[in-house]
Amino acid sequence: MSEVTETNIPAGTRREQLAEFWFYFKENRGAVVGLTVFILVVLAATFAPLLSSFSPDVQYRDVLLAPPMTDSAHGHFWLGTDAVGRDMLSRLLFGARYSLFVGVVVVLLALSVGVVLGLLAGWFGGWVDTVIMRVMDVILAFPSLLLALVFVAILGPGLINAMIAIAIVYQPHFARLTRGAVLSERNKDYVMAARVAGAGNMRLMFRTVLPNCLAPLIVQGTLSFSNAILDVAALGFLGLGAQPPTPEWGTMLSEAREFILRAWWVVTFPGLAILITVLAINLMGDGLRDALDPKLKRS
């Protein structure tokens, strides 16, 4: 049975595919720069305890709002200190962990729920399709940040709840994409062949059709990754995301707001960290789209 419906691609072909993907990806210089920066952010987050000379939570009360490059009895503050005397650099490095974590969790949640709903809607059609897609339409009718705010109001402020809220708001995009891809794949010969060979609905949906719908989902996943980082930072900024003293970048900005005209560094660096990370991911996303979109490849 499994020999007939086998959709696994031989290892050699897969390596070739990967090589082809890399060939197109590296054509896009921006994407390579984005990938490099992204790897650096991941390394910074992973090795944050080794890279920072201070704990992100320890307050040095004698060096409040010290400008960058300040030497003190405690050590050298490369990026200065915040209003309660915590080292900015250490907080930014640890903050990278939260941002990446948020991005990964939101995308995984939104992707898995959205893909399952989209598969069900596209595969079964009829009333299943109507009900699922109408609900998705309702979610999409609300501006995403507004709906996320309301969900956080229901669930209570906090990083986890902010992530759940944003994942709920993002999943209709995945559902729509998957449904569209399934509709275009459903009646193709290879699916028919697998069905004739006796594959059940579950196998047809997840093993036969889904792998052929992955390209747009990967691109949407990267987009959602960067948007999730922005939106969680925005919720943190509004006081509804991660709560102080968590060194999340948006929350840091929110704490720094009252000092904007006195201490530029407490505002500038967290925002710059968000911008650089999001920009790197978006650059990568552009490269992925170029490498995965066969329509563009031909032109």
Partner 1 sequence: MIRFILGKILWLIPTLVGITIVAFGFVRVLPGDPVLLMAGERGLTPERHAELTHQLGFDRPIWEQYFDFLWKVLHGNLGDSLVTHKPVLNEFLALFPATVELGLCAMVLAVAIGVPVGVMAAIKRGSWFDQATMTTALVGYSMPIFWWGLLLIILFSGILKWTPVSGRISLMYYFPNGSGFMIWDALMSGQKGALTSALSHLILPSVVLATIPLAVIARQTRSAMLEVLGEDYVRTARAKGMPPRRVIGIHALRNAMIPVITTIGLQVGMLMAGAILTETIFSWPGIGKWMVDSISRRDYPSVQGGLLMIAAIVMVVNLIVDLLYGLINPRIRHR
Footprint of partner 1 (CB under 8 A): 30, 134-135, 137-138, 141-146, 149-150, 152-154, 156, 226, 230, 233-234, 237-240, 250, 253, 257, 260-261, 264, 267-268, 270-271, 274-275, 278-279, 282-283, 286, 299
Determine the Cα–Cα distance for residues 179 and 125; give it in Å rounded to an integer: 9
Cβ–Cβ < 8 Å for 79, 68 = yes
| Least Å from the CB of residue 143 to partner 1 | 4
| Least Å from the CB of residue 265 to partner 1 | 11
Nearer to partner 1, 199 or 221 (CB): 221
Nearer to partner 1, 9 or 138 (CB): 138
| Least Å from the CB of residue 11 to partner 1 | 36
Nearer to partner 1, 75 or 244 (CB): 244
Determine the Cα–Cα distance for residues 82 and 90; give it in Å rounded to an integer: 11
Nearer to partner 1, 5 or 254 (CB): 254
107 CA to centre of own chain: 5
| Least Å from the CB of residue 282 to partner 1 | 5
Nearer to partner 1, 104 or 260 (CB): 260
Burial of 75-91, coded b for 16+ CB within 10 Å and e otherwise, reads: eebebbbbeebbbbbbb
CA distances from 55 to 5, 86, 95, 155 (A): 55, 8, 12, 30
| Least Å from the CB of residue 275 to partner 1 | 6
Angle subtended at Cα 180 by Cα 217 and Cα 104, rounded to the nearest 5 degrees: 20
Helices (H) and strands (E) in the chain, counts: 14, 2
